[in-house]
Amino acid sequence: MVVSLTRKLRAEVAGIDVSAPLLSGGTRAFVNLDNASSTPTFRPIVEKVDEFIRYYTNVGRGTGFKSEVATWAYEESRTAIARFLGADPATDTVIVTRNTTESMNRLAALFPFKSDSVVLTTLMEHHSNDLPWRRRARAVYAGLNPDGSLDLDDFAAKLRELRGKVALVAVTGASNVSGWVNPIHQLARLAHEAGARIVIDAAQVAPHRPIDMKKPDDPEHLDFVAFSGHKTYAPYGIGILAGNRELLNAAEPSLVGGGVVDLVTLDSIVWRGLPGREEAGTPDVVGAVALAAAVKLLAAFGWDKITRHEDELTAYALTRLGRIPGVKVFGKARADGPGDRIGVIAFEIKGKPNQLVGAVLACEAAVGVRCGLFCAHPHVFALLGMDESATRKACENASCGRIADLPGVLRASFGLYNDRSDVDALCDSLEAISRGDHAEYDCDPKTGDCRPKGRPRLNPADYFSLSPRLPS
């Protein structure tokens, strides 16, 4: 393991010293294994934001000193993010959004679909890279292998079958459920050979692997890339859509208001060029600065070290999980080759509801994971081997509000700062849960929410207040 890197990173995590209350009494340092949902931030990023706040004001047209500094910082942040993605400044633009979901919806609104256009996507996608396309075109789904990885033969076959109709290929860089890393440049080559463009949902892959959009004349060029700051150690409310400026500039803005125009009269509008025309209103300048600092920090750490650490930690976790009676890992249960998966592991304990296991981990071991369907329902259904009848039954339960009856699994996901002690905390507790060595819990029959029997709910107000310090 790259011990020195991990130790340095761990010491710099904002909130690494937070302790969580235990059901048995006392507290324990909180173990965050829910990084696929949102990552914490690092103190150098917090410090950079605090430094910038002194100069913060609106950007674009102010003539004051602070406005000039803030505008420069905002545009420099955009440039840093473009470099992080390998975007071509001559042909690509970088648009600031709120998150990956908004980025995908923006692209769906702007893309020049025809009435018979097809979007080829996959069964492993997050809803953010599925639902927006359904509104604008016919979505076709490439299948998965039994281990949850993308069936490349099926992907290629569907491209051939729909050649001339597929306008866009939409695929995740890495699965937020099974952790599989997709061969995005190989998929880009296939998409371009079929006359389609490609968009990569990089929300999961951006904090774990380097991204290179490549030059537009390269057959493996990525036409569009979207990702979020809150999964890339910059949880300040920012997302990014990067891609072909000419295509994005061809349609009217997807969101209108201040900042998207050069002139408005009572009977005419002169739209601004990109990226301004897609950044209506006051942009998230602080978020942009934070994300620029985060991607610069990742580059400074070094991708080789980051990948090696994650590969080693994931292999260790899979080995330990494989020794626990009743634990089943979904997707790939071994770490065979370097770099073919990120540190995301979906699993279950046989006979134990996922929400119960999640509650026990939180209340008795101060370990935070995620349980459920992870906004990638078809992928989880496929991993669970659910047939059409089971899927239809799940839809009926959801329609009736019976959330507790929905299928689901657990997910542990690693950040750059996690180490073997975090894996041990998770697996030690899972071993106890597998033996039935835990307190009794009441589980809501409608929601599935589980709470220790006879114990009051946690009161967050005991730990955090929104009231600011009043000036003395």
Specify the pTM: 0.96
C-alpha distance from residue 440 to each of 23, 220, 351 (Å): 11, 54, 15
Q: Report the distance separating Cα 188 and Cα 244, nearest Å.
A: 14
pLDDT of residue 62: 79
Catalytic entry in 375, 395, 443, 450: 375
CATH architecture of 3-32+302-461: Alpha-Beta Complex (3.90)
Residue numbers of the chain with a pLDDT score lower than 70: 1-3, 334-338
465 to 72, 200, 368, 459, 468: CA distances (angstroms): 34, 39, 22, 11, 8
Q: How far apart are CA 227 and CA 107, in angstroms?
A: 13
pLDDT at res. 332 = 77
* Beta strands per DSSP E along 309-456: 327-330, 344-349, 367-368, 370-372, 409-413, 441-443, 450-452
The answer to whether 113 and 133 have CB atoms below 8 angstroms apart is no
Q: What is the DSSP letter of 60?
A: S
Q: Which two tokens stand for residue 259?
A: 């900042």
- Give the model's pLDDT for residue 336: 62
- 375 as an active site residue: the answer is yes
User: C-alpha angle 457/356/431, rounded to 5°?
Assistant: 120
Q: Is 3-32+302-461's fold the same as 46-299's?
A: no
pLDDT tens sequence across 106-149 = 999 999 999 999 999 999 999 999 999 999 999 999 999 999 99
Domains in the chain: boundaries: 3-32+302-461, 46-299
Strands 197-201 and 224-228, sheet pairing:
parallel
Q: What is the CATH number of domain 46-299?
A: 3.40.640.10
Cis peptide before 275 (omega within 30 of 0): yes
